[in-house]
């Protein structure tokens, strides 16, 4: 693998020949031709719209992506086409990848500025711009896109030996731009482990690059109340218990889940697999993430979540002997004959016999009312109580190459 990257299985390769770019894949050729035909004015921008802070959802019925039209991510304002081709030459990455990246960074707004002080069309912090701006103006989109090419080229070279293939190399470069080199290395070069927001950012850009566009839904999950697990659970789960015929199919339970949950679960940036919408651990994790209480909570795997809860300084864990020891929002995990179930104690009586808890059951129940137990035939339960919640928004899009700052910007 070199600085000329390709996407495995797609036959996508970018060649740099005498300063010109040859794009071999048909869909990228179409994208390149369309760059000269489509000029899109940037829409109103706010810090919440940049750097993958929103969530992606499947292209809605009748959308341009489904109809085979140019994906919105690749609709480049005409005045930036030359700069983008230059950045592609510099980085050895496809034009379509860099175009999608700018789209998710600023929606092509050269005056964009985030709460984390990321500036301009490519969202550089002052510290990172000082290293990669080469004396240019961060607010000048031509200078900023050129710097984007240099910075992405740096990540291509840096991660080359750690990438499994060219597609993985592109993913690592995108993740490095979003979260910082240190966080990618700390995740052992596994993009999915860098953080859910970085993972979603990478998925969005790679999907556009592969011509498999996803629609941008910056309000997905926005109705979930922040700061309260019980309120978030009530928003995401049905009040009454919902039971289904058992199945481990990936989409099983999607139609029976609340729309709010179907939207919110996408925060993890995962493709549905193995009883995805009826996974007890995924539901609890989605509550903790969307309520902004614990954005490090593992997505799936009850034993993984148990290890996390018992080792994290954010939680107190104990074995309750009676319900009186519990507080609303406590997480309950079976620790008897095998760790196989997790759910949320709400302390609130739900309709009928479905009371005082909410959760899902793998292959059998989407998030809904849950009968409350402290012990059953499987053994005792461990309770985990969050004592140190995430209290401030994550610093997004810092792109800071200072190692000390990189360690603090996971999920940026």
Written in H, E and C, the secondary structure of 190-206 is CHHHHCHHHHHHHHHHH
In the predicted model, is pLDDT for residue 200 greater than 80? yes
- State the average pLDDT over residues 178-206: 92
Selected residue with higher pLDDT from 396 and 259: 259
Yes or no: is domain 229-386 CATH 3.90.1720?
Answer: yes
Task: Label residue 67 by pLDDT band (50, 70, 90).
Answer: very low
pLDDT for res 178: 95
pLDDT in tens, 153-164: 999 999 999 999
How many Å apart are CA 353 and CA 375, to the nearest integer? 18
Q: Distance between CA atoms of 140 and 272, rounded to whole angstroms?
A: 41
Quick one: pLDDT band at residue 355, thresholds 50, 70, 90?
A: low
Mean pLDDT along residues 339-366: 80
Tokens linked to 84 = 């983008």
**CATH assignment of 6-219, among 1.10.530.10, 2.10.109.10, 1.10.357.10, 2.60.40.420:** 1.10.530.10
pLDDT at 244 over 70: yes
Check whether 218 has a pLDDT greater than 50.
no
Average pLDDT over residues 369-380: 74
pLDDT for position 29: 32
The structural domains of the chain, with segments of one domain joined by +, span: 6-219, 229-386
- Look at residue 22 in the predicted model and tell me its pLDDT: 32
Query: Quick one: pLDDT at residue 60?
Result: 33
Distances (CA, A) of 190 to 162, 175, 239, 353, 411: 10, 10, 37, 43, 13
Q: pLDDT band at 113, cuts 50/70/90?
A: very high
Does the pTM surpass 0.85? The reply is no
Whether residue 210 is predicted with pLDDT greater than 80 in this model: the reply is no
Alpha-carbon dihedral sign for residues 187, 116, 213, 211: negative
- For residue 268, pLDDT over 90 is answered with no
Tens of pLDDT, residues 319-352: 998 888 999 999 999 876 656 789 999 987 655 5
Mean pLDDT of 169-178: 95
Q: Which of 258, 317, 260, 261 is nearest to 284 (CA)?
A: 261
pLDDT of residue 356: 84
Mean pLDDT, residues 132-147: 96
């Amino acid at each position: 693998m070199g600085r000329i990257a390709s996407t495995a299985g797609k036959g996508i390769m970018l060649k740099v020949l005498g300063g010109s770019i040859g794009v071999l894949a048909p869909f990228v050729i179409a994208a390149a031709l369309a760059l000269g035909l489509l000029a899109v004015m940037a829409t109103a921008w706010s810090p919440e719209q940049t750097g993958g802070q929103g969530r992606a959802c499947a292209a809605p019925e009748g959308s341009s992506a489904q109809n085979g039209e140019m994906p919105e991510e690749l609709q480049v304002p005409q005045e930036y086409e030359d700069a983008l081709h230059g950045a592609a030459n510099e980085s050895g990455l496809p034009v379509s990848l860099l175009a999608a990246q700018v789209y998710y960074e600023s929606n092509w707004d050269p005056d964009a500025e985030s709460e984390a002080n990321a500036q301009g069309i490519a969202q550089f912090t002052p510290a990172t711009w000082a290293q990669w701006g080469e004396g240019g103006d961060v607010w000048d989109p031509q200078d900023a896109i050129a710097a984007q090419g240099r910075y992405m080229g740096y990540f291509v070279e840096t991660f080359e030996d750690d990438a499994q293939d060219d597609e993985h190399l592109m993913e690592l470069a995108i993740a490095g731009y979003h979260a910082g080199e240190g966080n990618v290395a700390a995740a052992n070069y596994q993009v999915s482990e860098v953080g859910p927001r970085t993972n979603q950012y990478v998925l969005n850009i790679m999907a556009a690059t592969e011509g498999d566009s996803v629609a941008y839904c910056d309000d997905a999950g926005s109705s979930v109340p922040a700061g309260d697990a019980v309120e978030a659970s009530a928003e995401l789960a049905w009040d009454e218990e919902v039971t289904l015929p058992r199945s481990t199919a990936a989409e099983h339970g999607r139609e029976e889940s609340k729309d709010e949950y179907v939207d919110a679960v996408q925060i993890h940036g995962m493709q549905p697999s193995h009883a995805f919408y009826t996974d007890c651990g995924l539901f609890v994790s989605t509550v903790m993430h969307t309520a902004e209480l614990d954005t490090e909570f593992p997505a799936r795997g009850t034993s993984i979540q148990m290890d996390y809860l018992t080792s994290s300084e954010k939680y107190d864990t104990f074995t309750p002997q009676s319900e009186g020891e519990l507080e609303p929002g406590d997480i309950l995990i079976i620790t008897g004959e095998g760790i196989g179930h997790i759910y949320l104690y709400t302390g609130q009586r739900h309709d009928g016999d479905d009371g005082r808890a909410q959760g899902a059951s793998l292959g059998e129940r989407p998030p809904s009312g849950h009968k409350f137990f402290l012990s059953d035939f499987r053994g005792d339960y461990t309770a985990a109580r969050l004592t140190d919640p995430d209290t401030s928004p994550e610093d997004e899009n810092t792109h800071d190459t200072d190692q000390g700052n990189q360690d603090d910007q996971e999920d940026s």
